[in-house]
Amino acid sequence: MAEPTVQVVLCWSLGPRHVQEQSLQMPEGSTVKAVLDLAMAQWLSSQPSADATTLSSLQFQQPGIWGKKVPWTQVVQADDRIELYRPLKVDPKVARRQRFKRQGKGRTGLFANRKSGSAAGY
């Protein structure tokens, strides 16, 4: 008798706005790490120009299932979407401050429609 399998989807991104998605049939009780290993083996065999060192860097990314971080040893369920998250290059708070500084106080947010004669920032 055939071993029961589950259908999962693995999503990863090697760069901004460039998402790869692969659908896999895995044996029941497989872990996130096993899914990644199988997906990378299939990807390398189907893409002769794929760079093995770049794909091996995926092992250092944080895995998640449907937007929630999970450990590599997490057992996958049927119809799970496994995602690999790249580390942030810039802290979101710092990026917002830089954007605000670049755009100027007078043209954005609460400061866009200032009453004439009022103090700056109010």
Residues whose CB is less than 8 angstroms from the CB of residue 23 and which lie 6 or more positions away in sequence, other chains included = 7, 8, 9
Does the pLDDT at position 98 exceed 70? yes
The DSSP secondary-structure symbol of 43 reads H
Domain boundary assignment for the chain: 5-85
End-to-end CA distance of the chain: 73
Query: Within 10 A of 83 (CB to CB), how many other CB atoms are there?
Result: 22
Q: What is the pLDDT of residues 77-87, one digit of tens each?
A: 998 999 988 88
Does the pLDDT at position 74 exceed 70? yes
Single pTM value for the model: 0.66
**What is the structure's pLDDT at 46?**
74
CATH T-level topology, domain 5-85: Ubiquitin-like (UB roll) (3.10.20)
